[in-house]
Chains A and B, each alone.
Chain A
């Protein structure tokens, strides 16, 4: 049972526009969420995170929004750049926090 889901396997956006990547979760005990970015032939790298005590966290062009009642989070990238083209994974810690549960990923393509 996937507790973290990314229902859009791919997303295509024009350069300069907003990219919105979505993530849903089922476990109401999750209290922290992370987004990772992965380029081909490289390992994922941490991008941004949010604690459940917040509903928004911003870092430059990247903003993550959390809607706890809907068990939904989204990553906004504004403005999108071709270098943002990658696979994005959302994740949530479980157990003692050592382990992460990942969503299936969304491949973002930003067209010049």
Chain B
């Protein structure tokens, strides 16, 4: 079974803090993704990576950056957290095109 794990299930941070969300997959997948989920808006793609050190902006990259130093690990960074970044963050990975496997999510609250 594919396993995608995320470093925290719940996180509370203050406005202006730097926030790191980590994601690890154990299936040697090339592609990794970061989404945020907000009610009524579905899942919106923040960034994705198709190889180590490679990254592409998704639909809502503003205020975020990413890092992929190793194939199995993909980090999302909020340089200066703001209250409008309060959300559920989901990491996913895929080998073939189309089907993605998701982690359990991190509920981030920025106060």
Residues of A within 8 A of B (CB): 2, 4, 6, 9, 32, 34, 36, 41-46, 49, 89, 91, 93, 96-100, 102-105
Contacts and interface: CB of A to CB of B under 8 A. Distances in A.
B42 A105 contact: yes
- Chain B, interface SS category: strand
Interface residues of B, number: 27
Interface of B: 4, 9, 31, 33, 35, 40-45, 48, 50, 58, 90-92, 94, 97-105
A2 B43 CA distance: 11
Nearest to B31: A98
Contacts, number: 61
Contact of B90 (A32, A34, A43): A43
Nearest to A90: B42
A89 B94 contact: no
B104 A41 contact: yes
A23 B92 CA distance: 22
Contact of B43 (A41, A45, A49, A89): A89
Given A46-B99, A49-B99, A102 B105 contact: no
Contact of B105 (A42, A89, A91, A103): A42
A22 B33 CA distance: 26
B45 A43 contact: no
